[in-house]
Amino acid sequence: MKNKFILIFILISLISCDVLFRDEKEERIYRAKNSKGDILIGAVAPWEIIRDETNYLNGIEMAVSEINQKEKVLGRKIKIITEDDEKDITKAQIIANSFAKKSDIVAVIGHFDPQISNSVSIIYEYSGILMLTPTFSDANLTNRGFKYIFRTTPSDEEIGKEIAEFLKKNRYIWSLIFYLDNPHGWNVTNKLEVHLEKLGFTVADRRAYGLMSDVKYFRKELLNIQRDYKFNVMVISGTAPQAGYLIKEARNLGIDVPIVGSPGLASTKLLDFGEETLGNVTVATFFHPDNPNKKVQSFTSSFEKKIGKKPDVWAAQGYDAVHLLAYAMQKAGTTDPEKVSFILHSIKNWEGVTGNHTFDYKGNMVQKKIIFQTVKNNSFEFKN
């Protein structure tokens, strides 16, 4: 009997030691392999700030609802844990660290801002949490070659190249480029300029502007450009609403050339400037609800019935992110982030409402189609 108690004591001690010495990543893998309840996925963004300009969260929640009502994932429901990082790095790091301590969280959709995402991605990578980022194109997030970090938009460089091809198709030979003075603006513009030069097209001039640039600054720059350069298209690599003030000032000065914008302009905040300002404006994007693709039309119809309006690009990106994670988990046969990561890296042409998804070995989205939309009747109209 005494020996029996000693044996039980040893077994309990060994189990306790195993639990005691598992690090965050190992504990997460252990929980993923043994959990039977809800699959916990974080979703982080500055929700209060973006609430009125995007349907991003609606897209995420709609995907979760569809999955939970139909096939589920490995017989389990998905539960989204939303946190608001208020577009603040310190707040975002606190949230990331709190997720890292919760061993049942296997993935995070977010964050919304590139600088913040680049910072907190290190926490997620170290703690073994999958991070799927659907809202920006900065390849610095994924080019570090982390195992658990993925981006579901084309890169800035791909966007620059596609805009150049669009200019070529429309014979816009002399380009004037305005770009926001940040990594996104530089990367898109640099790739755009290199590609245009290869095509034999001319970049008349490129001008940077900052987040604090105002109408006075835009007017001064535009007057100088009008005096010194010839161009038949203006390209803006930036974000709304600021780009709207630049466009408005250009129109006020009689600059009526076509304007082509990067995906950061695909926002209702741009539409607030009205059709008189936005005539002959085209914006690159990753999704349009009027795309005749059957999958897009099914999603758009369901979204309109549920939310009461058409989905925007960020609703579609959030929707795809959830479905993609669910697909990878189902295919892996587990929610173990390490095994799901392997599946994501090996995915080729998974079809979502925003197009086909293929990742390279670094977690970059590759070969995802960029589409163009024009502003008409105070909305974005599908162009191609």
pLDDT of residue 32: 81
pLDDT at 315 over 70: yes
Q: Are residues 144 and 184 in the same domain?
A: no
pLDDT at 175 over 90: yes
Q: Are residues 280 and 161 in the same domain?
A: yes
Q: Is there a domain that residue 43 lies in?
A: yes
Q: Is there a domain that residue 17 lies in?
A: no
pTM of the predicted protein model: 0.90
312 membership: H or E segment, kind and range: none
Query: 92-145 pLDDT, tens per residue?
Result: 999 999 999 999 999 999 999 999 999 999 999 999 999 999 998 988 899 988
If one compares 315 and 53, the residue with the highest pLDDT of the two is 315
Work out the average pLDDT over 340-369: 95
For 20, the token pair is 């005691």
Work out the average pLDDT over 227-256: 96
Which percentage of the chain shows pLDDT scores above 90?
82
Residue 124: CA count within 13 A, CB half-sphere:
35
Structural domains in the chain (count): 2
Domain extent for 253:
157-285
**Distance separating alpha carbons of residues 239 and 39, to the nearest angstrom:** 35
Identify the domain boundary among 230, 263, 285. Answer: 285
Query: 291-305 pLDDT, tens per residue?
Result: 999 999 999 999 999
Work out the average pLDDT over 182-186: 88
Phi, psi of 42 (to 5 degrees): -80, 150
pLDDT-derived band of residue 70, with 50, 70 and 90 as boundaries? confident
Q: Is there a domain that residue 348 lies in?
A: yes
Q: Are residues 272 and 359 in the same domain?
A: no
**Distance separating alpha carbons of residues 16 and 22, to the nearest angstrom:** 10
Q: Is there a domain that residue 378 lies in?
A: no
Q: Are residues 178 and 120 in the same domain?
A: no
**Distance separating alpha carbons of residues 61 and 41, to the nearest angstrom:** 12
Q: Are residues 164 and 278 in the same domain?
A: yes
Domain with 206 in it: what CATH number?
3.40.50.2300
Q: Are residues 348 and 261 in the same domain?
A: no
pLDDT of residue 334: 96
Q: Is there a domain that residue 136 lies in?
A: yes
